[in-house]
């Protein structure tokens, strides 16, 4: 085993001394901390500040003050772009340290953590370029008026993020918000806060002014709920599960303030009989097993034409068995550990329930407690066949390395099965037939459709869902819609006409 060594820069961010608020590292007001566990061994290797409503109030106040001061909100957009570019550069310089921290914190393989960090730099570079490309509109309107419609930064933005792609999904939120000139208070998942606390420090060094990018760690019930219900947060952007999303939306409804939600999924991956089988099987495996299946857009429901079902299942099982489930810092690792004991129990419970309902376990399940599986939270790549649309496993997000396989016999049936879910985040289609592919893009009810591909989410195009998968979009120019408001200015070019003159 070749274990990735501890990179020189990692020690600086390994044991955070506090939140990052108003340009400083600030110990939590209550003085409490939360343990940080390595999911692959169960070892507690660090602690993070346990923020509460007081810490959140401090951060929101700092964000408001910085927003009002205009050091960032009214800065030249080109300047904001240069600073975001410098932050991207710094993240690239620190890439190995950040990837190492991400792997220890989340349990994902080091190779996948490196891809997250590169992706984070790409997100920042994209929004660095976009900063000078946010345009308003002008139009002549009746009465010889000039209508100017300005896009303005939305104000103080609260952001709450999950543990599966900590820095990468965090950057989906904070990069466009900073690009637009907002001031941010971000609450990372309590399970994986290290890289976002590090990013806030790197942002300061890159030139983001104090108070503009604050990160407060802590539990959802404490820091998260306080942020969601804070009356001075203009926009709240949330990524996480549906149950939490609903709570956040309730809190925001009471305040009558806008909210963006990126929630869960139960995404179909459809293999038609005319598909290139080798590629489709590889895509099905990658679609579910990447990041241990802890992926909001995981292709967790494989729908396969009956004529090729057995061949696809055999290929998928061979692939699943070949995946190297190894300690995540091992350079050879292709799948790491699940994020927590509670999550591993939940995934195991879903698989047991599926078997009880009639599904066949073809490979995988909880890893035997031996060797490097002895400690930590391990689950093997799992294939369940004979899964019917009535089964819970067909509907509920498992969020682990578990794929369900269901047969179909016609295009109509495939589309009906694909859409038979409360979610609508993503879908995959494998076919050689252009018309069939186009029909799917039109009829699948989801925010993202991959044709002969699965998983890539380049920052240039928007990401988000329909139905219970949420609303609003991360990525692309569309994210600017979340973090700006329109202001209309009507400028008269004619003498004022007195309504009461007669």
77-93 and 194-206 are packed helices; what angle lies between their axes, rounded to 10 degrees?
A: 130
CB-nearer residue toward ligand NAD: 179 or 475: 475
* Closest separation in Å from C-beta 260 to ligand NAD: 10
Q: Which residues are paired to 25 by β-bridges?
A: 20
> 96, 201, 262, 397: which is the annotated catalytic residue?
262
Residue nearest to ligand NAD (CB): 220
Q: Which residues are paired to 46 by β-bridges?
A: 36
> 182, 296, 440, 475: which is the annotated catalytic residue?
296
Widest Cα–Cα separation across the chain? 94
CB-nearer residue toward ligand NAD: 163 or 394: 163
CA-to-CA distance for 499 and 120, rounded, in angstroms?
56
SS3 category, 164: coil
List, as one string, the DSSP characters of 172-238.
Answer: HHHHHHHHHT-EEEEE--TTS-HHHHHHHHHHHHHTPPTTSEEE----IIIIIHHHHT-TT-SEEEE
Place of tokens 């009461």: 500
* Closest separation in Å from C-beta 378 to ligand NAD: 18
Dihedral over alpha carbons 292, 294, 299, 300 (to 10 degrees): 90
CB-nearer residue toward ligand NAD: 41 or 189: 189
Query: Which residues of this protein are in contact with ligand NAD, per CB under 6 A?
Result: 160-164, 169, 187, 189-190, 219-221, 224-225, 228, 239-241, 244, 247-248, 262-265, 296, 397, 399, 425, 465
Hey, which bits of 31-144 come out as E strands? 33-37, 44-49, 137-141
CB-nearer residue toward ligand NAD: 153 or 162: 162
Q: Within 357-408, where are the H helices?
A: 392-395
SS3 category, 1: coil
CA angle 492, 496, 498 (to 5 degrees): 145
Q: Which residues are paired to 156 by β-bridges?
A: 183
309-322 and 277-289 are packed helices; what angle lies between their axes, rounded to 10 degrees?
A: 50
Active site (annotated) includes residue 262: yes
CB-nearer residue toward ligand NAD: 173 or 319: 173
* Closest separation in Å from C-beta 158 to ligand NAD: 9
* Closest separation in Å from C-beta 252 to ligand NAD: 10
Q: What is the DSSP letter of 240?
A: S
* Closest separation in Å from C-beta 460 to ligand NAD: 16
CB-nearer residue toward ligand NAD: 163 or 454: 163
* Closest separation in Å from C-beta 234 to ligand NAD: 17
**Catalytic amino acids?**
262, 296
């Amino acid at each position: 085993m070749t274990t990735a060594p501890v990179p020189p820069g990692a020690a600086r961010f390994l044991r955070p001394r506090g939140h990052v608020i108003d340009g400083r590292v600030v110990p939590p007001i209550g003085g409490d901390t939360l343990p940080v566990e390595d999911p692959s061994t169960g070892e507690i290797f660090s602690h993070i500040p346990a923020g509460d409503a007081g810490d959140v109030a401090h951060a929101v106040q700092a964000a408001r003050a910085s927003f009002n001061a205009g050091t960032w909100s009214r800065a030249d957009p080109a300047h904001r772009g240069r600073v975001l570019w410098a932050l991207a550069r710094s993240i690239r310089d620190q890439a190995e340290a950040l990837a190492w921290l991400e792997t220890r914190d989340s349990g994902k393989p080091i190779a996948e953590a490196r891809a997250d960090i590169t992706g984070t730099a790409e997100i920042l570079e994209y929004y660095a370029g976009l900063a000078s490309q946010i345009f308003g509109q002008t139009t002549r309107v009746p009465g010889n008026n000039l209508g100017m419609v300005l896009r303005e930064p939305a104000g103080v933005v609260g952001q709450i993020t999950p543990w599966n792609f900590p820095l990468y999904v965090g950057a989906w939120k904070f990069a466009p918000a900073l690009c637009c000139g907002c001031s941010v208070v971000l609450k990372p998942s309590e399970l994986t806060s290290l890289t976002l606390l590090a990013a806030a420090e790197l942002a300061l060094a890159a030139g983001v002014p104090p108070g503009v990018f604050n990160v407060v760690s802590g539990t959802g019930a404490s820091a998260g709920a306080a942020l969601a219900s804070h009356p001075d947060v203009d926009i709240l952007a949330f990524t996480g599960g549906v149950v939490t999303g609903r709570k956040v939306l309730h809190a925001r409804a009471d305040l009558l303030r806008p909210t963006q939600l990126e929630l869960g999924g139960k995404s179909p991956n459809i293999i038609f009989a005319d598909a290139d089988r080798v590629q489709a099987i590889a895509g099905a495996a990658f679609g579910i097993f990447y990041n241990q299946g802890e992926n909001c857009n995981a292709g967790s429901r494989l729908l396969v034409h009956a004529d090729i079902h057995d061949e696809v299942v055999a290929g998928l099982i061979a692939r699943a068995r070949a995946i190297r489930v190894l300690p995540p810092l091992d350079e050879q690792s292709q799948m790491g550990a699940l994020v927590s004991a509670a999550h591993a129990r939940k995934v195991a419970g879903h698989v047991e329930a599926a078997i009880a309902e009639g599904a066949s376990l073809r490979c995988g399940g909880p890893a035997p407690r031996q060797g490097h599986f002895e400690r930590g939270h391990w689950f093997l790549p799992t294939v369940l066949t004979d899964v019917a649309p009535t089964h819970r496993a067909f509907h509920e997000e498992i969020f682990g390395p578990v794929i369900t396989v269901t047969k179909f016999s016609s295009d109509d049936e495939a589309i009906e099965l694909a859409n038979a879910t409360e979610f609508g985040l993503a879908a995959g289609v494998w076919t050689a037939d252009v018309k069939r592919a186009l029909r799917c893009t039109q009829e699948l009810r989801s925010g993202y459709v991959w044709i002969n591909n699965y998983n890539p989410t380049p920052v240039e195009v928007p990401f988000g869902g329909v139905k219970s998968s949420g609303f609003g979009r991360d990525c692309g120019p569309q994210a600017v819609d979340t973090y700006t408001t329109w202001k209309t200015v009507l400028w008269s070019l004619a003498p004022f006409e007195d309504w009461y003159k007669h």
